[in-house]
Amino acid sequence: MSALEGVRVLDLTHAHAGPICTMFLGAMGAEVIKIEPTWGEMTRMFPPLVKGVSPYFMFVDRCKKGVTLNLKDPRGREMFMEMVKKADVVMENFSAGTMDRLDLGWDVLQGLNPGIIFASISGFGQYGPWSDRRSFDPIAQAASGYMWTMQEGINPDGPPLQAVEAIADTIPGFSALIGILAALQYRNRTGRGQRIDVAQMDAMIGVMQSFSFWELAQTTFRSAARSGRVGVSGLHKALDGYVMFSLPAGRITDWFKELLDVEEVTPENVGEWVERRPVEEVVKLLAKTGVPVAPVLDLDQVKANEHAIAREMFVKVDHPTLGEVILPGFPIKFSETKGDITMPAPLLGQHNEEVYSELLGLSKEKLEELRKAGVV
Ligand SMILES: CC(C)(COP(=O)(O)OP(=O)(O)OC[C@H]1O[C@@H](n2cnc3c(N)ncnc32)[C@H](O)[C@@H]1OP(=O)(O)O)[C@@H](O)C(=O)NCCC(=O)NCCS
């Protein structure tokens, strides 16, 4: 049995922030029905396309059934509303106000199903002076102060810097994920659904420790971490690559001093010790000593890494067009309800027949009629 068995999610999400949330729900056993416009959502076209499939879509839309539905057609809207009655969660990340324009806002959904949990991610939330603005990850990285902290921490004289993975999509996606799980728990107790409003900007502010450093000490996390007693922590160049290690004050630093046979750790004696050894030796010695350490690995090295393999962090996904593909595995290890992230991202409309016949009782003929009319 999986943790979220029996939970049905109507997933209107596109791009990254919404889809990563619903993918995790699917991996934990929810039935996620990804509802796309008949032309497919934007991430399907994110380059480079490999045999017509986007690596992005393939990554972030696993564990979902895929259907097409034109919500602007009255028949499509009607079908969606019927499905809301049989669902637990509706999730979307359109620009704020889009669901209201479709006449599928909170009041409508709640009226159809008082237990429904309706979660939205948007750049700036459903209210507030910036709420009507569109957004992608870099916009939220800029607006939350994150890009400024990257600049301040890496090169204060350079321009602001953008983190290269879509962190300001993933963190909002996980915030919504947590919200949905809490709302399911609340609904189990009370029978009541609720509206969840996650803004990318809020989600980033909410996890940035630098705001506390700034408020209390007029510094940032990175500057504080670099100064004082933890000054030798960080990246070091070994003979054949780079190692990262952390030396907090206390017993870890004492163990490190013993290993190096020095009274004090200084950038000079540490640098000299590391640069004479290959990465593997530095890592082995420090790990054995108890110092937090890792080699700086490239993507191929991570995929081949014995530890990542032992923890099933790369899994085989069998895709109808691409064949077998190796993708990141599920990072939450449950003792009872193992997650599974191997269901491939759906082809456009792949599950129309299955979903619409099971949920709405539509016949093949009716579906064909709706397809010809551009409703599915
Ligand atoms: C990502 C984003 C910038 C894209 O902007 P966009 O392509 O203009 O898309 P919008 O969300 O504004 O609008 C989607 C449109 O498609 C329509 N649409 C979506 N699904 C549909 C469906 N199944 N059937 C018919 N129409 C559909 C919507 O009704 C809307 O139409 P409208 O503008 O006429 O009201 C915007 O969606 C956004 O800001 N999202 C919130 C922040 C976010 O999550 N960003 C992505 C992070 S990865």
Report whether residue 38 contacts ligand 1, using a CB cutoff of 6 Å: no
Q: Which atom of ligand 1 is nearest to the CA of 36?
A: 23
* Ligand 1: centre distance to CA 209 (Å): 31
pLDDT band at 308 (very low <50, low <70, confident <90, very high): very high
93 lines ligand 1 (CB under 6 A): yes
Q: Who wins on pLDDT, 193 or 267?
A: 193
Strand pairing report for 314-319 and 323-328: antiparallel
Tell which atom from ligand 1 comes closest to the C-alpha of 72.
25
Q: What is the dihedral sign for C-alpha 343, 91, 126, 209?
A: negative
Q: Whose CA is nearest to atom 12 of ligand 1?
A: 95
Handedness of CA 275, 276, 279, 282 (dihedral sign): negative
With beta carbons less than 8 A apart as the criterion, state whether 273 and 265 touch: no
Cβ atoms of 121 and 21 closer than 8 Å: yes
The pLDDT of residue 227 is 75
pLDDT tens, residue by residue, 347-359: 999 999 999 999 9
Q: Predicted confidence band at 109 (pLDDT cuts at 50, 70, 90)?
A: very high
Find out whether the beta carbon of 203 lies less than 6 Å from any atom of ligand 1: no
Taking the CA of residue 133 as reference, the ligand 1 atom at the shortest distance is: 39
Look at ligand 1, atom 45, and give the residue with the nearest C-alpha.
136
Tell me what the pLDDT averaged over the chain comes to: 96
pLDDT digits (tens, 9 = 90+) for 258-286: 999 999 999 899 999 999 999 999 999 99
Question: How far does the centroid of ligand 1 lie from the alpha carbon of residue 134, in Å?
Answer: 9
- The phi and psi torsions of 323 (rounded to 5 degrees) equal 80, -150
Q: What values do phi and psi take at 91, rounded to 5?
A: -130, 135
304 near 297, Cβ under 8 Å?
no
Q: Is 228's pLDDT higher than 70?
A: no
Percent share of the chain, pLDDT over 90: 95
Strands across the sheet containing 89-92: 65-68, 31-36, 8-11, 89-92, 117-122, 194-199
The 3-state DSSP class for residue 57 equals helix
- Of 95, 131, 175, the residue with max ligand 1 atoms within 8 A of its CB, to mutate for a pocket test, comes to 95
Atom 32 of ligand 1, nearest CA residue: 98
Q: List the one residue out of 359, 371, 375, 349 whose CA is nearest residue 9.
A: 359
**CB of 135 shorter than 6 A to ligand 1:** yes
Confidence band, pLDDT 50/70/90 cuts, at residue 225: confident
Residue-wise DSSP of 115-170:
T-EEEEEESS-SSSTTTT----HHHHHHHTTHHHHHHHHH-TTS-----SS-HHHH
pLDDT tens digits for range 66-100 = 999 999 999 999 999 999 999 999 999 999 999 99
Average pLDDT, stretch 204-223?
Answer: 96
Tens of pLDDT, residues 142-192:
999 999 999 998 899 999 999 999 999 999 999 999 999 999 999 999 999
Statement: residue 326 has pLDDT above 80: yes
Residue 214 burial class via C-beta count within 10 angstroms: exposed 0-12, middle 13-18, buried 19 and up: middle
Say yes or no: CB of residue 247 within 6 Å of ligand 1. Answer: no
Q: Which positions ≥6 away from 51 have C-beta within 8 Å?
A: 321, 322
Quick one: 8-208+311-372 is in which CATH superfamily?
Crotonobetainyl-coa:carnitine coa-transferase; domain 1 (3.40.50.10540)
Which H helix or E strand runs over 67?
Answer: strand 65-68
Burial class (CB in 10 A: 0-12, 13-18, 19+), 160: middle
Residue 65 tokens, joined: 């059934």
Mean pLDDT of 1-23: 98
**pTM of the predicted structure, to 2 decimals:** 0.97
**pLDDT > 60? residue 230:** no
pLDDT, one tens digit per residue, over 29-38 is 999 999 999 9
Q: How far apart are the CA of 247 and the centre of ligand 1, in A?
A: 46
Could you write out the DSSP letters of every residue in 99-127? Answer: HHHTT-SHHHHHHH-TT-EEEEEESS-SS
CA of 102, closest atom in ligand 1: 29
Percent of the chain with pLDDT over 70: 99
- Mean pLDDT, to the nearest integer, of 222-247? 86
Q: Which residues are catalytic?
A: 169
Cβ-count burial 108-125 (b if 16+ within 10 Å, e if not): bbbebbebbbbbbbbbbb
Ligand 1, closest atom to CA 134?
Answer: 39
**Tokens standing for 318?**
């069998």
Q: Are 350 and 57 in contact (CB under 8 A)?
A: no
Q: What is the pLDDT of residue 340?
A: 97
Write the residue with the smallest CA distance to atom 33 of ligand 1: 98
Nearest CA to ligand 1 atom 18: 37
CA of 131 to the centre of ligand 1 (A): 14
Tokens of 97: 């106000």
User: What class has domain 232-300?
Assistant: alpha beta
Provide the pLDDT for residue 232. Answer: 81
Domain boundaries, given as residue ranges, for the chain: 8-208+311-372, 232-300
Count of CA atoms in the C-beta half-sphere (13 A) of 367: 18
Structure token pair of residue 217: 């000490």
pLDDT reported for residue 229 = 54
DSSP annotation string for 201-263: HHHHHHH-THHHHHHHHS--HHHHHHSGGGTT-EEEEETTEEEEE---TTHHHHHHHHHHT-S
